[in-house]
């Protein structure tokens, strides 16, 4: 399922947060959204999820305008894994994962069994089966993140939107999490801060800077030292690692945000 954004802008709090975004996100592709803090990554994901509506421009999912989809239909097609998922309810892990089935609820007699199988499968894939009876409130940050992935997979979406999904995860779980997403998820768009993880797992990347999309394309074409310098204000060496065989980013110096727009 593709996303097509034509001249999309989004305003909030009296200012333009995203400016004239033109993008086509191809179906079946794992796309990373990169950019500094406050550049507009979450805002872009929220537009794709239908949480926000564009102030101007058009956003299409496949051949439909996203705005024309009813919320239940949207929830069947798109799962959003938020940066800070919370609930005030006293739920078990299984209850949380079961929430992913709500958009698919049906009166068909076999639905309960189908839902149960789907929930078990999603928990197994996200490596949280052993947590199934634990209270959500007692989980660590990393455990919650994996449970949220299970909820999103139980939703069986056509598009998976992930907002900094590897926050809270140790290195092993970061790799396992993104590998699982690559194996089982359909079209994926993930905001990521870790450029090495982006290089390892993304097919394409979108780079957002000060509310503008300044680059979009295959990760190996986009991710280079000039981009890291321009967007993050960091001098870095970006090279193909001799053992891992993928792009790695080693920072040399920086930290000052001397951002200029990349053309």
Ligand X SMILES: Nc1ncnc2c1ncn2[C@@H]1O[C@H](COP(=O)(O)OP(=O)(O)OP(=O)(O)O)[C@@H](O)[C@H]1O
Closest to ligand X by CB, 103 vs 165, is: 165
Handedness of CA 216, 220, 226, 227 (dihedral sign): positive
Q: Per-residue b/e over 153-164, b at no fewer than 16 CB within 10 Å?
A: bbbbbbbbbbbb
Residue 137 structure tokens: 């409130």
Residue 18 CB, shortest distance to ligand X, in Å, is: 8
Distance in angstroms (rounded) separating the CA atoms of residues 192 and 41: 9
- Least separation, in Å, of the C-beta of 34 and ligand X? 9
- Angle at Cα 22 formed by Cα 17 and Cα 25, nearest 5°? 110
Of the pair 98, 163, the CB lying nearest ligand X is at 163
Task: Return the number of the residue (132 or 262) whose C-beta is nearest ligand X.
Answer: 262
Residue 52 vs 151, nearer CB to ligand X: 52
Q: How far is the CB of 11 from ligand X (least distance, A)?
A: 9
Beta carbon of residue 245, minimum distance to ligand X (angstroms, whole number):
29
Closest contact distance (angstroms) between CB of 13 and ligand X is: 3
Q: Which helix (H) or strand (E) holds 153?
A: helix 141-154
128 vs 186: CA distance, rounded Å: 21
The secondary structure of 71-89 as a DSSP string is HHHHHHHEEEE-SS---SS
**Farthest CA pair distance, the chain:** 62
Q: Which is nearer to ligand X, 120 or 194 (CB)?
A: 194
Nearest to 147 by CA among 177, 113, 182: 177
- Least distance from C-beta 21 to ligand X, angstroms? 12
14 vs 110, beta carbon nearer ligand X: 14
Give the relative orientation of helices 141-154 and 171-184 as an angle to the nearest 10 degrees.
0
Residue 50, CB-side half-sphere exposure with 13 Å CA sphere: 21
Binding footprint of ligand X on the chain (CB under 6 A): 12-13, 17, 35, 37-43
Compute the least distance from the CB of residue 52 to ligand X, in Å.
8
Name which of 147 and 207 has its Cβ closer to ligand X: 207
């Amino acid at each position: 399922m593709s996303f097509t954004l034509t001249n999309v802008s989004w305003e909030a709090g009296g200012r333009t947060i995203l400016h004239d975004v033109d993008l086509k996100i191809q179906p079946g592709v794992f796309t990373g959204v990169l950019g500094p803090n406050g550049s507009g990554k979450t805002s872009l994901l929220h537009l794709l999820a239908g949480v926000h509506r564009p102030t101007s421009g058009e956003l299409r999912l496949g051949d439909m305008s996203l705005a024309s989809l009813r919320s239940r239909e949207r929830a069947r097609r798109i799962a959003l894994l938020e940066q800070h998922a919370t609930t005030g309810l006293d739920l078990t892990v299984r209850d949380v994962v079961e929430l992913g089935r709500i958009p698919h609820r049906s009166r068909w007699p076999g639905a309960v069994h189908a839902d149960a199988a789907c929930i078990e499968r999603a928990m197994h894939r996200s490596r949280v089966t052993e947590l199934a009876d634990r209270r959500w409130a007692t989980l660590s940050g990393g455990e919650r993140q994996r449970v949220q992935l299970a909820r999103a997979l139980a939703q069986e979406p056509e598009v998976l939107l992930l907002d900094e999904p590897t926050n809270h995860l140790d290195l092993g779980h970061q790799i396992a999490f993104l590998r699982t997403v690559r194996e089982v998820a359909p079209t994926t768009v993930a905001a990521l801060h870790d450029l090495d993880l982006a290089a390892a797992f993304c097919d394409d990347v979108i780079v957002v800077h000060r509310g503008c999309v300044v680059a979009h394309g295959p990760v190996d074409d986009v991710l280079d030292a000039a981009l890291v310098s321009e967007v993050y204000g960091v001098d870095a060496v970006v090279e193909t690692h001799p053992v891992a065989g993928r792009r790695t980013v080693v920072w040399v110096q920086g930290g000052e945000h001397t951002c200029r727009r990349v053309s």
